[in-house]
């Protein structure tokens, strides 16, 4: 379970692993969101790695793209759809469903928990903003410092007004070296993120060398998360460490 207040007990498990000379491969967002610089420093002292691909967009290699494939570019911003539950609800509402009905359907399909607060109020996406901020920019953000708003206040009228203007509501998470936000925004239907429907996730990296680079893929799921853990283990194998 992810704890975004203390990151415990997962953080203590990470400290213990490093103290015993083990690498860290984690799908738990808490330790990375709250203590990544400390974990990195401790890992460096013992010659070990801290890998956490599974914490953002599950098996879709969002972090690997930013930290490895785009290593030669300067990333000035990351923004995207980082929560599948809210994206599914918004997609269903655009098809004419009410918020309450769309949420109930998301719960029945296993996209949303019985208590959907973390998803629909933006806190799950915010935890991923914390991770992107510290991993990409060395910026240790705090939830209390961020503007975080969810989608529970959106109505069918809001959805229709956006449609009439050639726009679409999306819950957009954004992070720069200056800070991060999570908020529902109306974006033009021609924007790459506007075409991402259902429970799919997407992230756009704004770079100096390549302009905007957008990655679209699954953002959750047991198999997908397991794949991310496997990809980190394969990285360790390739490094020969």
Euclidean distance between CA atoms 89 and 96, whole angstroms: 11
Contact status, residue 49 vs residue 28, Cβ threshold 8 Å: no
**In angstroms, what is the C-alpha Rg of the chain?**
18
Q: Dihedral of the CA atoms 53, 54, 57, 58 (nearest 10)?
A: 130
Owner of token pair 């399909």: 109
Catalytic pick among 48, 128, 139, 170: 128
Cα distances from 155 to residues 81, 99, 100, 139, 168, in angstroms, run: 20, 7, 10, 35, 13
- Smallest Cα–Cα separation from 146: which of 183, 172, 184, 179? 179
The DSSP call for residue 181 is E
Output the six-digit token pair for 168: 């679409």
Backbone angles phi, psi at 51, to 5 degrees: -120, 140
Q: Is residue 128 annotated as a catalytic residue, yes or no?
A: yes
Chain center to CA of 204 = 12
Q: Which residues are catalytic?
A: 128
């Amino acid at each position: 379970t992810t704890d975004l207040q203390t990151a415990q007990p997962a953080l203590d498990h990470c400290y213990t692993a490093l103290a015993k000379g083990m690498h860290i491969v984690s799908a738990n967002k808490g330790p990375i969101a709250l203590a990544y610089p400390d974990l990195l420093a401790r890992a460096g002292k013992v010659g070990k790695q801290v890998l956490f691909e599974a914490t953002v967009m599950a098996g879709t290699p969002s972090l690997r793209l930013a930290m490895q494939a785009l290593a030669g570019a300067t990333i000035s911003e990351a923004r995207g759809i980082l929560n599948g539950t809210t994206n599914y609800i918004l997609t269903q509402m655009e098809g004419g469903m009410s918020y309450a009905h769309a949420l109930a359907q998301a719960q029945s399909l296993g996209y949303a928990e019985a208590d959907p607060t973390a998803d629909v109020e933006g806190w799950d996406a915010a935890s991923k903003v914390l991770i992107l901020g510290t991993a990409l920019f060395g910026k240790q953000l705090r939830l209390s410092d961020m503007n975080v708003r969810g989608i529970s206040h959106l109505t069918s009228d809001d959805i229709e007004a956006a449609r009439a203007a050639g726009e679409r509501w999306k819950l957009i998470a954004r992070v720069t070296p200056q800070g991060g936000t999570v908020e529902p925004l109306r974006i033009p239907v021609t924007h790459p993120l506007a075409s991402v429907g259902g429970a799919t996730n997407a992230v756009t990296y704004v770079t100096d060398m390549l302009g905007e680079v957008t990655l679209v893929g699954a953002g959750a799921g047991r198999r997908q998360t397991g794949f991310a853990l496997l990809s980190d283990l394969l990285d360790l194998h390739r490094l020969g460490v």
